[in-house]
């Protein structure tokens, strides 16, 4: 029985694709057969973040239109045994996604024995974002500790609770809050919303907090999902979040400022 | 945390401003989003009726639906002008 998880946020640029790549990789590394689908038709980027941009032959829309089989379009990840990527179409219109088409692809993934399907949502609350969340069993809502992102997250939570298939059936999508780009030092100085503040405003269970970390840009530069960087704070935080997603109890980390030596303080270099 | 940080925090705690603003707007928008579609039409019709008797502006009517578990309360707030125009309010027509 495959679990369908949408990674969504409303606002753009908060880390949906970074999170989708990290979570799907993390699940695959834990031995789960996982597919990650890019729903951002016309602006695909998951392929680039996962370093398979030159291996894209067929895409999501080709499969929906019957121009290719799902097996032909799925790209096997080079680093993880159990991970497959279904890229978005770069040329089509987002209206190419239909409820029936998306449902058919998801059903086929279930038949192929996938345990997890991660849906990487486009920004906004338009058709593409709606298609990404409609069939979800669970949702990872990505938010930055910043006013516009938190407000947009609340909008998306409202849509999940009223417009998703689960909502139509009178059930609930399991919601998880993932706070990214968190800077504990700025929080301590009263310059940034804290975890508890965001949790309270959105009234959603916290899945994880990803600290602001240079490793994220380094990872995307190279097309290696940041979770592979097991030394980095962001990599560790994503690994914890994935463990929690599979039901493990893991203590939250990186919520307080790091203790810095006098030398580090003087030169203001962060790791 | 140094003494300087303590004073700096008191002065520049912008995070608490952000939190307050978010709580207000999020609560407001949740109420808006939970409104049934007919509420706007209902508000318009109610205004037409009131306008027959009192000359008021649409901004002075507030229709609000609050959910309290298994029942809902429809609240109607009409702010009447300070002076009631006698001609319209009375039975002279």
pLDDT exceeds 80 at position A34: yes
Beta partners for residue A37, in sequence order = A86, A119
Of the candidates A137, A129, A182, the residue with the CA atom closest to the CA atom of residue A155? A129
Of the candidates A208, A207, A204, A225, the residue with the CA atom closest to the CA atom of residue A216? A225
pLDDT in tens, A78-134: 999 999 999 999 987 778 899 999 999 999 999 999 999 999 999 999 999 999 999
Q: Are A114 and A5 in contact (CB under 8 A)?
A: no
The span from the CA of A242 to the CA of A226, in Å, is 13
pLDDT in tens, A256-271: 998 776 776 666 554 4
Note whether A147 contacts B21, CB cutoff 8 Å: yes
A contact residues 100-119, partner B, Cβ 8 Å cutoff: none
pLDDT at A106: 98
pLDDT at B66: 76
- A199 to chain B, any CB pair closer than 8 A? The answer is no
A226 Cβ contact list (under 8 Å, min separation 6): A18, A21, A22, A213, A215, A216, A219, A220, A232, A234, A235, A238
Q: Measured between CA atoms, how close is B3 to chain A, in angstroms? A: 12
Of the candidates A54, A81, A78, A58, the residue with the CA atom closest to the CA atom of residue A68? A58
ipTM exceeds 0.90, yes or no: no
Nearest CB neighbour to A190, from listed B15, B23, B33? B15
Residues of B in CB contact (< 8 Å) with A are: 1, 5, 8-9, 12-16, 18-19, 21-23, 25-26, 29-30, 33
pLDDT exceeds 80 at position B50: yes
The span from the CA of A13 to the CA of A133, in Å, is 18
């Amino acid at each position: 029985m495959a679990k369908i998880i949408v990674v969504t946020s409303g606002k753009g640029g908060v880390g949906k694709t970074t999170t989708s790549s990290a979570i799907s990789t993390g699940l695959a590394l834990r031995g789960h057969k996982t597919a990650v689908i890019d729903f951002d038709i016309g602006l695909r980027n998951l392929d680039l973040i996962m370093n398979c941009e030159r291996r894209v032959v067929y895409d999501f829309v080709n499969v929906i239109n019957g121009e290719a089989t799902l097996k032909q379009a799925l790209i096997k990840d080079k680093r993880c045994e159990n991970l497959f990527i279904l890229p978005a179409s770069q040329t089509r219109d987002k209206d190419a996604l239909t409820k029936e088409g998306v449902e058919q692809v998801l059903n086929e993934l279930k038949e192929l024995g996938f345990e997890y399907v991660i849906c990487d949502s486009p920004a906004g609350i338009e058709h593409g974002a709606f298609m990404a969340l409609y069939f979800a069993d669970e949702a990872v809502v990505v938010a930055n500790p910043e006013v516009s992102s938190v407000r947009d997250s609340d909008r998306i939570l409202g849509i999940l609770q009223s417009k998703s298939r689960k909502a139509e059936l009178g059930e609930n999508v399991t919601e998880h809050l993932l706070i990214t780009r968190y800077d504990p030092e700025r929080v301590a100085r009263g310059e940034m919303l804290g975890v508890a503040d965001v949790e309270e405003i959105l009234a959603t269970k916290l899945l994880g907090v990803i600290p602001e970390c240079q490793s994220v840009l380094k990872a995307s530069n190279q097309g290696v999902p940041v979770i592979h960087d097991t030394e980095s704070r962001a990599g560790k935080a994503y690994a914890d979040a994935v463990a929690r997603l599979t039901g493990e109890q893991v203590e939250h980390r990186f919520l307080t400022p790091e203790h810095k030596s006098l030398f580090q303080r003087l030169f203001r270099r962060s790791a | 945390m140094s003494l300087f940080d303590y004073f700096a925090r008191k002065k520049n705690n912008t995070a608490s401003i952000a939190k307050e603003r978010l709580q207000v707007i999020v609560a407001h928008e949740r109420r808006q989003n939970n409104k049934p579609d007919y509420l706007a039409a209902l508000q318009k019709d109610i205004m037409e009726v009131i306008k027959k008797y009192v000359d008021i502006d649409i901004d002075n009517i507030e229709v609000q639906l609050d959910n309290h578990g298994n029942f809902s309360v429809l609240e109607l707030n009409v702010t009447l002008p300070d002076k009631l125009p006698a001609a319209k309010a009375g039975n002279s027509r």
